Structure 1
Amino acid sequence: MRSWSAPDIVPLPGTGGPLRVHDTATGRIRTTTPGSTAGMYACGITPYDAAHLGHAFTYLTFDLVNRVWRDAGHDVNYVQNTTDIDDPLLERAEATGVDWRDLAHREIDVFREDMAALSIIPPTSYVGVVESVDLISELAVRIRETGAAYEIDGDLYFSSAAASKFGEISNLDREEMLDLFGQRGGDPQRVEKKDPLDWLLWRAERPGEPAWDSPLGRGRPGWHIECSAIALDRLGPSFDLNGGGSDLIFPHHEMGAAETRCATGQPNAHNHLHVGMVGLNGEKMSKSLGNLVFVSKLRQQGVDPAVIRLAMLSHHYRAPWEWTDAELPAAAERAERWRAATALGSGPDAAPVLAAVRASLAEDLDSPAALAAVDAWASAALTEGGADTEAPGLVRTTVDTLLGVKL
């Protein structure tokens, strides 16, 4: 599956330092230690509606990881999926009278346009579930061969009792797991299962539903295993960073990690990064609640994508936050000040700004601190001036290369 056009990345003088991020599994900020090529996987959208700001905030976060690693001299093998077959997509297609494939293609196109407009570096591999059915069924067979899976009427389930380190990502107790599993696409109520926490690897064909031939019989993938299979194929086990929104910690990432460990004996990733939820009117912004602010709608209204990006960058990725009517005006005013300052013929020395932005982003992607460093330089340039004729250009490149904001 094709991704989207890549923004131009202008190299900066020198190199950035190692990236440190908060690892969900350990609860600590840890230094990432990639080799010459860093491996990263981010869970993509289920394309039954357009991408909202919660999605954009997640992919902005992984874009910052990508930029910091590149600035530190690493190549980045970034893999992202799109779940172009799943229950929510089928349900929306039926409700709207649209073929599920047409719905998925339409919304993926909008997503690509949004990501390109926001200067998100595209994945090295952008992979759909439909094109990966063979990979997914092969992984399910491997898991079954270990004895960790069992069948109920043609459906293949992973036995949670066979997951040697179940809970290693989320650190939740059983009661919390059961509650979230029921809320987030699981079927703890199915009485035939050995344990309510067992999850579906392969769903046998149902009348009227799409299905594919496989060694497991005709059917389609369950949830969780698609990301495990794609990541193993494109990155192998024990890659550098896995993540997504914080609502994916359990069950999605916990169960995916168990699948990888069962099939390979290794963890799926060294670090797990999760992004705080974006709210609106006191609720998490989500498709199920319908309280959404769409990137595509903002763009249609003429909002500068750089302003949308700046509005999101003003929030730290791990902290849940609320979108309000004040976000865009504040970001637009910041963009105007930065553009005015970098349009000057000279300004204060910009080397400290580059160093401060690098240091802020390297320390758990502290984008608000990075913005504050540029704010201080812009204020000094506009009020006090400066003699360095190279400074405006260096600040402009710093902002573009590390923050992804085009001035």
Structure 2
Amino acid sequence: MDAWPSPALPAVPGHGVAPLVYDSASDALVAAEPAGETATLYVCGITPYDATHLGHAATYLAFDTLQRVWRDAGYAVRYAQNITDVDDPLLERAARDGVDWQALAAAEIDGFRSDMAALGIIPPDAYVAVTERIEPTAVAVAELLANGLAYRATADDASDDSDGFDVYFDTTAAADVSPWRLGQESRLTPDEMLPIFAERGGDPTRVGKRNELDPLLWRAARPGEPSWDSPVGRGRPGWHIECAVIALNELGETVTVLGGGSDLLFPHHEFSAANASALTGEPAARVYAHSGMVAYRGEKMSKSLGNLVKVSELRAAGVDPRALRLALLAHHYRDDWEWTDASLPTALERLRRWRAAPSAPGEYAALAELREALHHDLDTPAALAVVDAAVEAGGLSPELRSGIHLLLGIEL
């Protein structure tokens, strides 16, 4: 599937270094650097049943910043992102609205592309819909079954054209033969996991499971649901195995950074990493990084709650996308924060001051400070403060302007 056009990435004098990024698994800042010359990044994509909101934009901007810092450090970057274009929320929204689920997905994917391009987000090199990877995902499930790392559970409500079984990942067996351990990424105990698992698509009370926390790998075909023929019967993939297979196919055994919103830390990233490690015998990632949640009117901004501030609506109202970037960059990517009526005016005023700043003599101190701020866990609020100080001190040098363009994505 095509992504969106890439923004201009200017040359900047000198170079930065690989950033220190907070790793959820180790609870520490670690160097987000590849084993070789190419940094690899996998970020979980959207389930396309509603428009892009500022919570989405904040997540993709966080990992856009990581890409920019990597490129400034001289690394090549290969980035993959999925689209979960067949899943229960999409099917439920399509049924609610009386529309075809594929048409709904296509429309929302087009809107997402448009929003990402407007915001200047560097696109993935591999932008992959789950429906484009049904066969390799099913093959991976068959491999896990053959290796004793998955098992079948009777699906009493399955369609007559299926084999009548769902397939589950055996977390206990996988922990015995792979580097993965339950809780390694989330650092949660099983008792802490259970209610979260139930809230986020899991089925802990499902009859026939060996462990309450075992996640679904393959859902046997049900009446009225989309399904595909496969080596493990007619059906469709589970949520976590999709990302594991796409990451492995596009980026190799161990990605440099596996990223997404903090709401994906458990169960999605925990079990995607488990599935990948069970298939390869290697760690899924060197760093597991997560962005915070954006709230609005007192609650996390989410499609399910409907309390969305949509990028497309702000753009339609004439808001400069650079101001939206600045509004989001004003918060550290790992922080939870709330969008308020003051967020946009504050960003618009900052953009006005930066654009009105006179040219200053060439010097590298401010550019070095900008790089240092971003080196330390992508600290964009500190980076904005560097630019604010330079503006107050008399203006922006050509070197700093090019750094602002490359590292913050703001062309002045």
What is aligned with 2:337?
Answer: 321
What is aligned with 1:388?
Answer: none
Is the 1:348–1:377 contact (alpha carbons within 8 Å) kept by the matching residues of 2? Answer: no
Q: Which amino acid aligns with 1:176?
A: E
C-alpha distance in 1 between matches for 2:362 and 2:13: 14
Q: Which amino acid aligns with 1:167?
A: G
2:353 paired with 1:337: yes
What is aligned with 2:257?
Answer: 241
Aligned-pair CA distance for 1:348: 5.0
Runs of 4+ in 1 over 4 A off after TM superposition: none
What is aligned with 1:385?
Answer: none
Q: Any stretches of 5+ residues in structure 1 without a counterpart?
A: 383-390
Is the 2:302–2:308 contact (alpha carbons within 8 Å) kept by the matching residues of 1? Answer: yes
What is aligned with 2:142?
Answer: 141
Is the 1:58–1:245 contact (alpha carbons within 8 Å) kept by the matching residues of 2? Answer: yes
C-alpha distance in 1 between matches for 2:145 and 2:264: 24
1:134-168 Cα deviation digits (max 9, x unpaired): 11111111111110111112100112222311111
CA 350–306 in structure 1, closer or farther in 2 if over 3 Å, else same: farther
Aligned-pair CA distance for 1:198: 1.1
2:396 paired with 1:395: no
Is the 1:228–1:260 contact (alpha carbons within 8 Å) kept by the matching residues of 2? Answer: yes
Is the 1:146–1:262 contact (alpha carbons within 8 Å) kept by the matching residues of 2? Answer: no
Is the 1:348–1:380 contact (alpha carbons within 8 Å) kept by the matching residues of 2? Answer: no
C-alpha distance in 2 between matches for 1:262 and 1:73: 33
What is aligned with 1:7?
Answer: 7
1:237-277 Cα deviation digits (max 9, x unpaired): 11200010000010001111111111111111010000000
3-state SS, counterpart of residue 163 of structure 1? helix
Is the 1:350–1:377 contact (alpha carbons within 8 Å) kept by the matching residues of 2? Answer: no
Aligned-residue identity in percent: 56
3-state SS, counterpart of residue 394 of structure 2? helix
1:164-210 Cα deviation digits (max 9, x unpaired): 11111111011111010000011112122122111110000001111
What's the TM-score once normalised by structure 2's chain length? 0.94
1:75-129 Cα deviation digits (max 9, x unpaired): 1000000100100000000000110000000000000000000000000100000
Is the 1:152–1:193 contact (alpha carbons within 8 Å) kept by the matching residues of 2? Answer: yes
1:255-306 Cα deviation digits (max 9, x unpaired): 1111111111111101000000001111111111111111111101110000
Q: Which amino acid aligns with 1:401?
A: L
Is the 2:186–2:270 contact (alpha carbons within 8 Å) kept by the matching residues of 1? Answer: yes
1:375-403 Cα deviation digits (max 9, x unpaired): 00111226xxxxxxxx5432321111110
Q: Which amino acid aligns with 2:79?
A: Y
Correspondence list, 1:7-406, <5 A: 7-34=7-34, 35-153=36-154, 154-164=165-175, 165-341=181-357, 344=358, 346-381=359-394, 391-406=396-411
Q: Which amino acid aligns with 1:52?
A: H
C-alpha distance in 1 between matches for 2:362 and 2:345: 29
What is aligned with 2:160?
Answer: none
C-alpha distance in 2 between matches for 1:13 and 1:172: 44
Root-mean-square deviation (CA, aligned residues, Å) is 1.0
Aligned-pair CA distance for 1:349: 4.5
3-state SS, counterpart of residue 98 of structure 1? coil
Equivalent pairs counted in the alignment come to 396
C-alpha distance in 2 between matches for 1:298 and 1:186: 35
C-alpha distance in 2 between matches for 1:76 and 1:142: 30
C-alpha distance in 2 between matches for 1:186 and 1:243: 21
C-alpha distance in 2 between matches for 1:197 and 1:208: 27
